[in-house]
Structure formats: structure tokens, C-alpha cells
Structure 1
């Protein structure tokens, strides 16, 4: 069920404490995406994000999504430890109340030339708009089912790299993106950007599992990167953003 985050002028899909499953601008507002020309370490990145949002005349609660790059995939325990550190700044900004987090996020690990520490690649925030076109960011999702249980228990075809397993992994992840889009009342036809993150060749399943389902109407950007938790192999995210900037 979609929830409203009035201080940020957006609504979101509740998920886990470290991020939401997606954020969409409320009527009268739009999402602006800002990508850093070079990766910026976490602390410096938060400072630059705050400066940019405030210079636009917006409160820090307008921060609605971010894209991170990390040195390497970590264990489930390591992932939680990182997230507990990450959300401290969100709490200071009035975004995280200790349990609910409205900010959507992707966090992946470049296989070649990774950063030395977790860093920001891009971020998004809401700003007033006179347009009527919707805008949103769907958070990164990999081939892990929701609910209770460890990652090994929830990963689709855990440690299975066979062609049949890969088809299931891609199909599951595409389906999860569709589910999140539908929560907001959107489909692939509403997206302006779709990303895939993996170091494996998923092209044998590209036509049937993505193209035929309409997922690449605006093309597909493949990042040669791993999902953030060991044994996850394929991640995606998507968005509809009409205003993008590189700084």
C-alpha cells in the first residue's frame, strides 16, 4: 500500500528500514534526478546533496531517492551494518523515524574500478512543477523474494547459474519491477529509464523477459556491477524523470 510523505511532497511504497521500494512526486511536484560526474564518498555526498537541495529552495525532506556504488558485495550482516550507518543522516534530515524510510535506493558494486568506499552516483528530490506528467523512481530490486528468512532462503534459484535458473532470476526481477510500478498505477510504458546490474550475460533472456514485456521502450542501460549482497546476481531499477542534471 502506498503511503504519503507530506514533508517531502511525495508518496512511497513502504519496504524495509534502509529504503522504500519506490517514490513518486505528488501533484504539483516533479522528481529531479542529479548525477555526479564522478563518484562522491558518502559523507561528502550527503553534504553536496544537502547544498543542492537547499539551493533549489527545497527542504531536505524533499530527498526521495539515491543511487549508491559500493566497493564489493558483502554478507547479509555487513549489509545491515552499512544500512544502520546510512540511515543516521536520513534521521537527522527528518526522513527516517526509526522504522519507516520513504527514500528509494539502488546500491550496486562495480566489478571493475570500484570505489574505495561507499559513494553516491546520483540522487533525486522533489521540486514544484506546473506540469501534469507524473514522475517517479522505483528502487533497485534483485532476485530475492520478500518476507522473513535469510537471503539464501529467499534468493530465486540460490547459487544456480544454469540457463533455466537465469531465466527465472530475470523473470522474477522484471516482475518485481512491474509490481512496484503497479503500486503507483504505472506500467513500463510510463518509464523513461531502465537499468540492469549484473556481471553475467543475461542477453539470452532479453527478448522474452524484457523486450516483449515492454521494459525497454526507452532502451536499457546495463551497468557491469553486482548487487550489494553476496549471491545476488541480477538487479534492476527504473524511473520516469523529465528533468535530469549532471554536476
Structure 2
């Protein structure tokens, strides 16, 4: 377990001029509220072992079936990470998906562990920072979320 959860992405539209920080999240223990967590982003390649080029699920396959296979693998990885923290999909309140591929066909089945609970799925039209990856996701579970718009 890493105390720092992060997701690196590259926006497809409205790209910043340089590397930047768009947002960050943190959790605060609260005895009166349920536990909170942030699960770091993962793309469709197992960590450790093979290189991204060798370990990526269906590399270069942007077909609907290829994207589905990538999303299924990432969902499994998110579930593994949730379990490692002692949680499951019921405790998740938000999932962020980062891809330029169409996720609409995935909402009814692949993403059903979270959409079926009425939780938010936010689709960020962006790419993972590794050229061979197409699909990244992170998950969080929060009893309360505060968003601050620094541009206001």
C-alpha cells in the first residue's frame, strides 16, 4: 500500500502547455464517518514484470472488443486494490475513467459493479501517459467530497 495515490493522464483536448497538476485528493480520518480511500490509477498493464509493450492487454487494439478486454482487466485490478484496502465496490463513491475510446457500451456490464450501485463514473477524454496504454481508471470512496475551483 502506498500512502500517495496518483493518476497521470494526458488530456486529448485543451492540453496544458507544460506538465501541470490539475487536482489532488486526500483522506482525513473521522471517527464519526465511514472510512475514506483513494485507489491510484491503473492502466491495462500488470505492474512489475514485463515491459508495457510486453504486458499490455491487447496492445494497439482499439476495437470495441479490445477496449472491453482492457476495461475488464482494469476493473479486476481496481477490485484487487480495493480488496487490499479492505473495501469493495459498495464503499466506492466515484470512479474516473481516462480514455479517448467510447465507454458507453461498458456502462451496463463491465462498469456495472459501480454504475449498478448508482455511483458516479466520470469519463475524462484523455490518454494514459504511456503510448501503448488506452484505458486508465481510479476509484475513491468518500463520505464527503469538497471541490474547490481555484479559477474562480
| Aligned match of 2:61 | 160
Q: Which has the higher strand share?
A: 1
Once the 2 structures are TM-superposed, how far is the Cα of residue 200 of structure 1 from its aligned partner? 1.0
Aligned-partner Cα distance in 2 for 1:195–1:110: 13
The CA RMSD measured in Å over matched residues stands at 1.5
- Aligned 1:77-226 pairs, distance under 5 A: 102-127=3-28, 129-211=30-112, 214-216=113-115, 217-226=118-127
Once the 2 structures are TM-superposed, how far is the Cα of residue 219 of structure 1 from its aligned partner? 2.2
The 1:128/1:167 distance shift into structure 2, 3 A limit, reads: closer
**Structure 1 alignment gaps of length 5 or more:** 1-12, 14-19, 21-101
Q: TM-score with structure 2 length normalisation?
A: 0.88
Higher RCO, Cα 8 Å, sep 6+: 2
Once the 2 structures are TM-superposed, how far is the Cα of residue 115 of structure 1 from its aligned partner? 0.7
Q: Specify the structure having the higher radius of gyration (Cα).
A: 1
Aligned-partner Cα distance in 2 for 1:185–1:127: 17
Once the 2 structures are TM-superposed, how far is the Cα of residue 163 of structure 1 from its aligned partner? 2.7
Q: Alpha-carbon deviations, 1:209-238, whole Å to 9, x = none?
A: 112xx2223121101110111020011111
Task: Provide runs of 4+ in structure 1 moved above 4 Å.
Answer: none
Q: TM-score with structure 1 length normalisation?
A: 0.56
Once the 2 structures are TM-superposed, how far is the Cα of residue 147 of structure 1 from its aligned partner? 2.3
